[in-house]
Structure 1
Amino acid sequence: MRLATFQPQLGVHCETTTLRNMLHHAGVDISEAMLFGLGQGIDFQYWDAPDPGRLTPMLTGRIEPAQLSRNACSALGAELREARAPDAESASAAAAELLEAGHVVGVSVDIYHLDYFKSRSHFASHYIALYGLDDTLAHVVDTEQQGGAQTLPAESLRRARASDEGFMPSPHLYLYVERLPARLTADTDAVVRERIWNAVRLTAERMTGDRGPRFGPRAMRRAATEIAGWNDTLASPDETVPGVGRFWRFAGTGGANFRKLYREFLLEARQRCGDGELGAFADDLGDVQRRWDEAIELLMAYPGADRRERLAAVAARLNAIADAEQALFEGLLASAEKRAGEPA
């Protein structure tokens, strides 16, 4: 079974790419950046290393997997369905049934088992859009970096969906958009425009609130403190430290990638709402993005001389980023609250 009218939609982040493909096939075209903003996708999260000393903590620039899709669909009024099959056979059968009914299916996978992926590491919080499946082949859409539309052996997809290894595995999890509200398809621009400031407010409330040492700016400062000492606390820093930089830059979870997406959301929001203040916030976020890129460059250049100085510089940038993001989202929150009090 393969969806005959399906048109792949490209993107830079796995979950927003998957969500965009599900919504587009269902009948509504919304940019990846707008979905990321409506989905309140930006964050910073610190997840403890399973083997401290040998591995670094997982440091991500997004909210938890699948939560972005839930938030965005809730904002748009789209009915998102989410389920987990008990085994590989049931997962394949459920996907085939949904494809037969005309749905693109979002599936959670471990990249290690995807034939077209170059990485040989387990990472199980990856999402792809499934638009065709039979006994031998699966047709999916991944990110632009991974080539967009891909065809792979059905058995590889089965293994990828079944994996319980890597970061935040969700074996046999699948999502699909059951239906869209009529107004969303009839007047997409109006619906999106009406939802923007509320999504900004909810995001800013979360980013400025104290959620403990694992989330938001407080987690960045915690990470900065630990990174400054990685030269002495990690068993193989010459391999591990630049690996973090490469992961942040190329795997999609890094701070700069998601700051870029959120900046694009703010720019599109400014255009849709005609609100110049959003442009100023987008400029500020551009400065934050550049600091993230500088930190990544320092991590990737770690091997060689001046190791401690490089890590100290990364830590300094993370602390500065924490301050800048705190101020940015405080400003966005104040603006969102002011607009909530304005007459409609």
Structure 2
Amino acid sequence: MIIEKVAFPGGQHCETTTLGALLRHEGLDLSEPMLFGLGEGLGFVYWDARNMDFPFLGGRTKPATITRTVAERLGLTLHVHETTSPRRAWQNVAAALTAGRPVGLQLDSYHLDYFTTKVHFGGHFVAMYGYDDTHAHLIDTAQQGGAVTTTLSSLALARAERGPMTARNLSYTVVGPAVRPGLGDAIRTAVRNNAHAFLDPPIANLGHRGIGKAARQVTRWLERAGDPTRDLRLAASLMEHGGTGGALFRAMYRDFLAECATIVDDDNLRLGHRMYAEIAPLWTEVAGHIAAAGTTGDPDQLTRASAILSDLADRERRAMQTLAGIPAA
């Protein structure tokens, strides 16, 4: 059972790659930055729970929220299924594929055969476009191989895993509108909403306040780490290479704003794009200093990272204040 011509070449982020593949099958071809931005995906979280080995810096909103928000912005019909029953979970997927629709899945990448780095991450997404007696056929990011396969047994384990950011065998399909939606109003709404959420986070770990907290905490990371070489280098790698598109999703959001400026004529939008064009390289600098601290054990590298993060908290606050000023059409 294989659905032909399901693809999203070059995808960098798992959820937008999955959504892009589903929408392409529906005849709606949007860039990955556009999907990320319309999904109001940009965020920041400094996460350091008691059961965590090391703090996590995240640059986007919670899993599945991008997909749900894009569906709302573009008038898509989104059918979502969750269940604790493995049998029902498979039936949900098989029924959609039999009906000719690829299926989005949220799962734990640890169990997928083609992942060479075995780390539990329950917020991973793939698009499934077929199966045979032993394997599932999936679309993942370019970094993971694009069109890949995993055994049906490993897929079942990945879907059923419990833990942080996991879902209960979550699957979904998308039905596109009969006519390609206009993007102007959707862009204005998405940019304003994302800006307001970033500027007014409910807790200090999120948004621009979270960046400021990271600036204060990062200088202690050599003492905080169980294995500084491993922990700091992994944190830096996740910022640049962990499906973020570089610079903790800021490069992707910069590209979204650049594309928006060709569709919406607004001075605030153009200024916001220029501001994020300056912001994105600074996140890459932060990642570089964190990686260097892990390699050398030099605390001065973390002092430099802290100074840039303090600057970024202010820069992103001002950029989002600018973008929040985009008027409705």
Query: TM above 0.5, one fold?
Result: yes
Structure 2 equivalent of residue 199 of structure 1: 190
Are the counterparts in 2 of residues 49 and 58 from structure 1 also a CA contact under 8 Å? no
Structure 2 equivalent of residue 74 of structure 1: 72
SS of residue matched to 1:172: coil
Whole-Å separation in 2 of the counterparts to 1:235 and 1:295:
21
Deviation at 1:264, TM superposition (A): 0.9
More displaced 10-residue stretch of structure 1: 243-252 or 4-13:
4-13
Match of 1:284 among 259, 275, 278: 275
SS of residue matched to 2:59: strand
SS of residue matched to 2:204: coil
Residue 131 (str. 1) matches residue 135 (str. 2)? no
Deviation at 1:241, TM superposition (A): 1.3
Whole-Å separation in 1 of the counterparts to 2:146 and 2:269:
31
Structure 2 equivalent of residue 160 of structure 1: 158
Residue 171 (str. 1) matches residue 168 (str. 2)? yes
Residue 14 (str. 1) matches residue 11 (str. 2)? no
Structure 2 equivalent of residue 300 of structure 1: 291
Structure 2 equivalent of residue 317 of structure 1: 308
Which one-letter code corresponds to 1:27 in the other structure?
Answer: G
How do 1:8-87 and structure 2 match up within 5 A? Answer: 8-51=8-51, 55-87=53-85
Q: Deviations over 1:145-187 (max 9, x none)?
A: 111111222222111111114x31113111211x222232xxx
How do 1:216-235 and structure 2 match up within 5 A? Answer: 216-235=207-226
SS of residue matched to 1:152: strand
Are the counterparts in 2 of residues 73 and 80 from structure 1 also a CA contact under 8 Å? yes
Whole-Å separation in 1 of the counterparts to 2:8 and 2:305:
38
Q: TM-score of the superposition, structure 1-length normalised?
A: 0.90
Structure 1 equivalent of residue 247 of structure 2: 256
Whole-Å separation in 2 of the counterparts to 1:254 and 1:129:
19
Match of 1:181 among 177, 181, 188: 177
Deviation at 1:274, TM superposition (A): 4.1
Whole-Å separation in 2 of the counterparts to 1:7 and 1:143:
10
Structure 1 equivalent of residue 3 of structure 2: 3
SS of residue matched to 1:323: helix
Structure 2 equivalent of residue 117 of structure 1: 115
* Structure 1 unaligned residues grouped into runs of 5+: none
CA RMSD in angstroms, aligned pairs only:
1.9
Residue 100 (str. 1) matches residue 98 (str. 2)? yes
Are the counterparts in 2 of residues 112 and 121 from structure 1 also a CA contact under 8 Å? yes
Whole-Å separation in 2 of the counterparts to 1:51 and 1:238:
20
Which one-letter code corresponds to 1:176 in the other structure?
Answer: T
Deviation at 1:96, TM superposition (A): 0.7
Distance 1:123 1:304, change over 3 A: closer
Q: TM-score of the superposition, structure 2-length normalised?
A: 0.94
Deviation at 1:277, TM superposition (A): 4.7
Deviation at 1:213, TM superposition (A): 1.0
Whole-Å separation in 1 of the counterparts to 2:248 and 2:296:
28
Whole-Å separation in 1 of the counterparts to 2:220 and 2:185:
46
Q: Deviations over 1:124-160 (max 9, x none)?
A: 1000011012331111110111111112222221111
Are the counterparts in 1 of residues 18 and 125 from structure 2 also a CA contact under 8 Å? yes
* Structure 2 unaligned residues grouped into runs of 5+: none
Distance 1:72 1:49, change over 3 A: same
SS of residue matched to 2:263: helix
Structure 1 equivalent of residue 323 of structure 2: 332
Whole-Å separation in 2 of the counterparts to 1:97 and 1:39:
27
Whole-Å separation in 1 of the counterparts to 2:50 and 2:104:
28
Whole-Å separation in 2 of the counterparts to 1:304 and 1:332:
38
Deviation at 1:329, TM superposition (A): 0.4
Count residues in correspondence.
329
Residue 247 (str. 1) matches residue 238 (str. 2)? yes
Deviation at 1:304, TM superposition (A): 5.1
SS of residue matched to 2:183: helix
Are the counterparts in 1 of residues 8 and 17 from structure 2 also a CA contact under 8 Å? no
Identity %: 36
